[in-house]
Amino acid sequence: MPHRTSDVAGRPFPAPSPSLAPSPRAAHPPRVSHLTPLEPPARAKVHAAFTLNGEPVEAAFAPNKTLLEVLREDLALTGTKHGCELGECGVCTVLVDGEPVLSCLALAVQCEGRRIDTIEGMAEGGVLHPLQQAFAELGAAQCGYCTPGILLAAQALLAKNPRPTRAEIADALAGNLCRCTGYLKIHEAVERAAGWLEGARG
């Protein structure tokens, strides 16, 4: 069908306005600029020096890292375990200046100049600590995942109270959860180690 140039009365259609006329198709597609994605700014690292298992250590790490993360990821001390990371299970317990600390809740920068002890430093010269020996003899560790934190909490207890009662042992270890043992063997092992240590001191 031919294209109509006039209306039914024979009047010619008005010419299209230049502003409404279709633009000629571009010979080449428009060039698209591929922008490089913005990289997040590098997080500045902080440096901290402390005593770790009796040795001076200096480490560099992101300022938001927990002590647990620095121990495991930056210092390769994996004896300290990841647990709930909410401060509820006690599996990540280490000693800071002799006191049990949940390393998942402590920022590593807070430990500048302090003394940190982990399970890797418990045995001396290849000889098990009496607590480790008692745990092995009495079967106080089963899967063993919670054991490092329990051993360190018990070590802190015996440093302050060489002959604790069963109730005092249970109270000191109340923040360390164990899903395997039922705690009886754990408490007995701490009592046995306390007796050995007292005999060694005596």
Contacts of 42 (CB under 8 A, 6+ apart): none
Query: Where are the extended beta strands (E) located within 80-162?
Result: 93-96, 99-102, 115-117
Task: Give the span between the Cα atoms of 172 and 66, in whole angstroms.
Answer: 24
Contacts of 163 (CB under 8 A, 6+ apart): 194, 198
Q: For residues 180-188, give the mean pLDDT.
A: 95
pLDDT tens, 23-61?
Answer: 555 555 555 555 556 565 556 899 999 999 999 999 999
Task: Give the span between the Cα atoms of 117 and 149, in whole angstroms.
Answer: 11
DSSP state of 111: G
Task: Give the span between the Cα atoms of 163 and 195, in whole angstroms.
Answer: 7
Contacts of 153 (CB under 8 A, 6+ apart): 90, 93, 100, 172, 173, 175, 176
Question: Which two tokens mark 128?
Answer: 């098990």
pLDDT tens, 78-129?
Answer: 999 999 999 999 999 999 999 999 999 999 999 999 999 999 999 998 899 9
Question: Which two tokens mark 159?
Answer: 């440093």
Angstrom distances, CA of residue 101 to CA of 28, 92, 135, 170, 181: 67, 8, 21, 17, 23
CB 195 within 8 A of CB 156: no
pLDDT tens, 124-176?
Answer: 988 999 999 999 999 999 999 999 999 999 999 999 999 999 999 999 999 99
What phi and psi, each to the nearest 5 degrees, are found at residue 153?
Answer: -65, -40
| Among the listed residues 75, 100, 84, the one whose alpha carbon sits nearest the alpha carbon of residue 151 | 100
Whether the model clears a pTM of 0.75, i.e. scores above it, the answer is yes
SS3 state of residue 84:
coil
Task: Give the span between the Cα atoms of 32 and 41, in whole angstroms.
Answer: 26
CB 161 within 8 A of CB 197: no
